[in-house]
Copies of this chain bind each other. A is one copy, B any other.
Amino acid sequence: MYGEYLTNAQGEDVVAGIRTPKAVLEMQTEMPDLYKQLEELRRNLETHYHEVQDFEYTIEKGILYCLQTRNGKMNAAAMVRTSVEMEKEGLINKQQALLRIKPDVLEQLLHPRLDPSSKAVAIATGLPASPGAASGQCVFDADRAESLGRSGLKVILVREETKPEDIHGFFASQGILTSRGGKTSHAAVVARGMGKACVAGAEGIHVDVKTRQAFVGDKILKEGDVITIDGGTGNVFLGEIATVPAEFTEELKTLLKWSDETARLKVMANADTPEAALKARQYGAMGIGLCRTERMFNATDRLPVMVDMILAKTTEDRLVALGNLLPIQRGDFKEIFKTMSPFPVTVRLLDPPIHEFLPTERELEEDLSNLKELRNNVRGVSSLTKTLQLIQKDVPVLKPPVPFDDNSETLINAAISKKEDMLAKVRELYEVNPMLGHRGVRLGMTYPEIYTMQIRAILEAAAECVKENIEVHPEIMVPQVCTSQELLHVKAMVDKVREEVETKHNVKLDFKFGTMIEVVRACMRAKQLAEVAEFFSFGTNDLTQATFSFSREDAENKFLPLYNEMQILQDNPFEILDVKGVGQLMDLSVKWGRKTRPDLKVGICGEQGGQPDSIRFCHHVGLTYVSCSSPRVPVARLAAAHAKLLESSYHVDELLV
């Protein structure tokens, strides 16, 4: 029993600060009989209310009077602990123990958060893009983040926006802060996937990479200045603010075990690397619902191979580059399969438009202009570190510090030539609306050799596991499908590679073939797609964009806040599933798909898959699983249990109206 008590005094004295109360435990020795009565009172109240009680009492002339009582206000940790304790004490049953905790409050336990007692004032605010609080020195490019991070410093990567080539900087940073982009911007999505704190689109901050500083109003942030970001609120602070660490207690584990026993929905994680897979298991994921293969290409040592693949002028050249990528992907898949065994791992084939792996047109133009200036001054210049770094990225043989010699011009010319190829490619690949462009299975149709390589990497990794007696259940998933013809083409590649791999390794492979449902037309063709696909996975990020004709980044930066304020839309549909529109399409798709294939496995792998209200809807339209970023997995597990426990109080057909 916790609390405080006063002797010979009125409560008003406490409020007025005149008296300091004693801990209630001292009463045990000072007034043992009354303490026993108090214990009994507490037990009676809590048995009656099935909830921890915050009650007031007074003792007058040796008699205990109860003045008032109410349910105790508790933070997440206390809620979890008391739930499990009360169940153990027989005060409540497991269902009640689960239902008294709102799933979202678990989020508090799973990330470090700012010390609630801090009085610091934010210098800027962006979008709360990935939860958690983090402090560190500002750095303005990924290379610098990596080198400082390696030397043991805590850093925050501050960028206007991030690109796949910055990915090594993410690994080295405590958190990411961008001045541009929404909640599905590269920075936000990658940070969430890694479980790193991220504040995105903090428009008040102007980043100047060249001078290594950022401007916030009249303040200047220099490289090395310490800041703290709160990915739960979007706030940015000067200096280091104390944080409270994450807690994954035994009680929480118990509670989540009960959740899993109760829920009908399975909870998977979105994870792209062996490290992320390990984290997914730690959070209790029952498999990987979305493994984005392209994330594997972003490491510093891999991106150049990917770029070679993209620059290839012939299919033969592309096959050579793909041959170099194959063992890398196979190795990653094998590690992931082993980590997740015996759970399923759903691998999505290449999805983003390939220009995302290249620098921007502006960056390349600037690089070229710098390189050409360097060539003009090749003999007169002694120290052009930045430009040297520039060459080095493209011509790795040249290691600074390098004195200029007869060979320098040749090397610079090689770098210029490569950059010019990249620039020409970037211009060729330019798209007006990249979200709706040459991506997903459309790449698989135009460059079948890319998909074939990826399929081979998955199946060879699986074959190696089988030979090592590791149970694996890969699932191959095709993105951006709009017609069953596309699926049939990829299925033909899969069948061919399967035969080759099974013959070569002399094993039988057990895997599933399925499709993302993220294009509206796929919903309309669900009946036909289910003839080819063994599972569906709703990509509700893209599906929401297509259903609303909202580009998320543009919408969240331009008009969505006003839409919420004017109550044109109740919620942000990118965070909470839009049941009336997107949900309606999902409902039709599930019904139509299961007409063809009654046992069709159906999941969701968009961000809403970790959001409790959305999970409840997924339960009701009959989904098999939800998949979300690892730190959301505990929330989703509890939400899935709630969905089951409360299913009779929820009527989907009414909500769709």
Contact = CB atoms under 8 A, between A and B. Distances in A.
Interface stretch (A117-125, A224-232, A460-468, A545-553): A545-553
A440 to B, nearest CB: 8
B445 A569 contact: no
B559 A442 contact: yes
Given A435-B433, A442-B559, A542 B549 contact: yes
Nearest to A567: B485
Interface in A516-538: 518-521, 524-525, 527
A520 B554 CA distance: 18
Contact of A551 (B431, B566, B582): B431
The prevalent SS among residues of A at the interface is helix
A614 to B, nearest CB: 16
B437 A555 contact: yes
A435 B431 CA distance: 12
Contacts of A566: 445, 485, 489
Contacts of A558: 431, 437-438, 442, 446
Task: For chain A, give the interface size range.
Answer: 35 or more
Interface in A479-506: 480, 482-483, 485-486, 489
B445 A563 contact: yes
Contacts of A585: 520, 524
Nearest to A185: B432
Contacts of A100: none
A442 B518 CA distance: 24
A532 to B, nearest CB: 13
A507 interface: no
A102 interface: no
Contact of A525 (B482, B521, B580): B580
Contacts of A446: 558-559, 562
A568 B445 contact: yes
Contact of A548 (B434, B521, B548, B549): B521
Contacts of A408: none
A559 B549 CA distance: 21
Contacts of A64: none
A6 to B, nearest CB: 55
B520 A581 contact: yes
A250 to B, nearest CB: 45
A437 B554 contact: yes
Interface in A550-599: 550-551, 553-555, 558-559, 562-563, 566-569, 578, 580-582, 584-585
A433 B437 CA distance: 10
A483 to B, nearest CB: 6
Contacts of A23: none
Contacts of A436: 433, 435-436, 545, 549-551, 554-555
Contact of A559 (B438, B567, B657): B438
Interface in A406-452: 431-438, 442, 445-446
Contacts of A480: 549
A433 B563 CA distance: 19
Contact of A431 (B483, B520, B547, B554): B554
A521 B581 contact: yes
A630 B78 CA distance: 71
Contact of A569 (B483, B549, B581): B483
A201 B42 CA distance: 80
Nearest to A558: B438
A561 to B, nearest CB: 10
Nearest to A545: B436
A548 B524 contact: no
A524 B587 CA distance: 11
Nearest to A435: B433
Nearest to A429: B558
A425 to B, nearest CB: 13
Nearest 7 interchain pairs by C-beta: A433-B551, A436-B551, A521-B581, A437-B554, A485-B568, A438-B558, A433-B435
19 contacts: A432-B554, A433-B434, A433-B554, A434-B554, A436-B545, A436-B549, A436-B555, A446-B558, A446-B562, A483-B568, A485-B566, A485-B568, A486-B568, A519-B549, A520-B520, A521-B547, A521-B578, A524-B581, A524-B585
Given A435-B551, A445-B562, 9 more contacts: A436-B545, A437-B551, A445-B568, A480-B549, A483-B569, A520-B581, A521-B549, A524-B584, A542-B549
